[in-house]
Amino acid sequence: MTSPAPSPDLLARFATIVGDRYAVTDAAEQEPYLIEQRGLWHGTTPLILRPGSVDEVAAILKLADDTRTAIVPQGGNTGLVGGQTPHHGEIVLSLTRLARIREVDATSNTMTCEAGVVLANAQAAAQQADRLFPLSLGAEGSATIGGVLATNAGGTGALAYGVARDLVLGLEVVLADGRVMNVLNKLKKDNTGYDLRHLFIGAEGTLGVITAAVVKLYPRPRSVETAFVAVPSPQAALDLLALAQQMTGGGATTFELMARISVEFAFRHAGCRDPLADQHAWYVLLEVSSTQTDGLRRRLDETLEAGLEAGLIIDAVVADSLDQRAALWRIRETIADVQRYEGGSIKHDVSVPLASVPDFIAEASAAATALIPGCRPCPFGHLGDGNIHFNVSQPVGADKDGFLARWHDMNDVVHAVVRRHGGSISAEHGIGVLKRDELARTKDPVALAVMRTLKTTLDPNNILNPGKVVSL
Ligand SMILES: Cc1cc2nc3c(=O)[nH]c(=O)nc-3n(C[C@H](O)[C@H](O)[C@H](O)COP(=O)(O)OP(=O)(O)OC[C@H]3O[C@@H](n4cnc5c(N)ncnc54)[C@H](O)[C@@H]3O)c2cc1C
């Protein structure tokens, strides 16, 4: 058992490891580490530790393990499932001071980043070396490399480059007992036994603390073209994706589906402008990229013309400047945030096989409105990955708290549709505390038993993010 309330003496021993300056006890200074951006949780802690080296992380975990003290690892605090929040007064281990990019190796196409490197800074460092680090998401100005790996983040580049897991070659991890595991290699081919890095990617800080990673770099695109496309249906959008991949040689790097209601919220609350003259039921943000400097716009135009002829497109606009491109992206990027101005919003981050997306959206919308008449499903997301953020806004004028009280009922009916289509109840945000109990109810029992075995083997004293992902 972990001890719930460390004594003042023990807290002082932890503080000594990092020095008083980086042992945060002041309530006002602690606040940014304890809040959750949507206001779903508010943590409490006696101490936030901000180590400045791997050795300090190792010393903290060794002391925590010896004294059975619970630790919550934290990066940029942008997670959406409550994994980085100290819900029961645990000590927070913030990795943000481990923010050094140790190496950019343009020949090997790798970059070695410490866990606290902010994602946008990693992207910028790759760009400086004329390379691309393709992981990209709305929280990239705050999310850290350690956090995006611990949650196996997806984002808008996953269509072309894969999710975080696909972008990692090597890892440095501090284990629960304080030992440092170094598999920080740059190798594409390494078949020397079990591939341990994948145990820690997506484990949400429950199996070890990631302190550094070797990530893959790619050639930097020389041309990028962005279109905002009105389509008659999700099925037409799927067909358009296939057409675009065919006609651009697999050049589609973004393919985001948006229902009218979700973009309407962006027009209403974020000052975004409707780029098309008429209103349509569905939209796609389509981006194509190429390492060549010319020919891409022509290929995109040909794709859009073919889509129009095939009845897959109703109308479209292509960005002619960086400002126009930014304006189109802004519509997509503000969708999740502006839902709060429409009252309560019940979230689902799900994935289904690509071919099932249209049926999933139709069936989940019907199930949601049958449960709460008048509620407003706002599906949007990474259609190219089969990943839909099926968020449901409250009926106009309804009581917000009453609506949000039905969160689990709504999850149940939507996730039932997900399961019917062989999908996942967490496509990219993870499990944390938000979906832990549902995971326990719905995951294959043998798979769940293996997860528990891994947890008790790697963290026998249950000090690392206890109560997150799997309960023991
Ligand atoms: C506006 C917005 C847009 C988003 N868009 C996307 C999206 O498109 N795709 C997507 O996948 N996610 C998205 N997210 C979710 C979030 O950004 C990701 O989960 C991100 O990967 C979290 O990184 P972080 O550094 O903030 O981690 P935190 O929130 O601090 O932590 C997340 C989890 O990782 C653990 N952790 C953090 N650092 C470490 C470490 N070094 N070692 C071990 N465990 C660690 C924590 O304990 C916690 O369980 C979005 C969030 C916001 C707010």
Q: Write out pLDDT tens, residues 242-298.
A: 999 999 999 999 999 999 999 999 999 999 999 999 999 999 999 999 999 889 999
Task: List the residue whose alpha carbon is closest to atom 52 of ligand 1.
Answer: 139
State whether the beta carbon of 254 lies less than 6 angstroms from ligand 1.
no
Give tens-digit pLDDT for 79-126. 999 999 999 999 999 999 999 999 999 999 999 999 999 999 999 999
The percentage of the chain sitting over the pLDDT mark of 70, rounded to a whole number, equals 99
State whether the beta carbon of 148 lies less than 6 angstroms from ligand 1.
yes
Q: Is the pLDDT of residue 212 over 50?
A: yes
Give tens-digit pLDDT for 313-342. 999 999 999 999 999 999 999 998 899 999
Classify 440 as helix, strand or coil: helix
Q: Is the pLDDT of residue 72 over 80?
A: yes
Whole-angstrom CA distances from 369 to 98, 377, 419 are: 47, 8, 19
H helix runs in 273-321, sequence order: 296-309
The percentage of the chain sitting over the pLDDT mark of 90, rounded to a whole number, equals 96
Classify 295 as helix, strand or coil: coil
State whether the beta carbon of 134 lies less than 6 angstroms from ligand 1.
no
**Tokens (6 digits) for 78:** 């942008």
Using alpha carbons, select from 329, 325, 339 the residue that is nearest to residue 264: 339
Q: What is the reported pLDDT for 100?
A: 98
The band of 4, judged by pLDDT with boundaries at 50, 70 and 90, is low
Q: Find tokens 């990943």 and name the residue.
A: 387
Q: Is the pLDDT of residue 2 over 70?
A: no
Region for residue 397 given its phi and psi (left: phi exceeds 0; alpha: psi -120 to 50; beta: otherwise): left
Rounded CA-CA distance 216/132 in Å is: 9
Task: Determine which helix (DSSP H) or strand (DSSP E) holds 466, and give its type and residue range.
Answer: none
Burial of 217 (0-12, 13-18, 19+ CB in 10 A): buried
Q: What is the reported pLDDT for 310?
A: 97
Q: Is the pLDDT of residue 1 over 50?
A: no
Using alpha carbons, select from 145, 385, 393, 162 the residue that is nearest to residue 262: 393
State whether the beta carbon of 205 lies less than 6 angstroms from ligand 1.
yes
Other CB atoms closer than 10 Å to residue 445's CB: what's the count?
8
Q: Provide the whole-model pTM.
A: 0.94
Q: How far is the CA of 385 from the centre of ligand 1 (A)?
A: 19
Classify 143 as helix, strand or coil: coil
Classify 137 as helix, strand or coil: coil
Q: What is the reported pLDDT for 365?
A: 98
Please compute the mean of the pLDDT values over residues 445-455 and round it to a whole number.
97
Please compute the mean of the pLDDT values over residues 57-67 and round it to a whole number.
98
Q: Of all atoms in ligand 1, which is nearest to the CA of residue 154?
A: 11
Q: Is the pLDDT of residue 393 over 90?
A: yes
Task: Determine which helix (DSSP H) or strand (DSSP E) holds 7, and give its type and residue range.
Answer: none
Q: Are strands 345-346 and 223-231 parallel, antiparallel or unpaired?
A: unpaired
At position 372, the amino acid (one-letter code) is: I
State whether the beta carbon of 155 lies less than 6 angstroms from ligand 1.
yes
Residue 471 per-residue DSSP state = -
Task: List the residue whose alpha carbon is closest to atom 6 of ligand 1.
Answer: 137
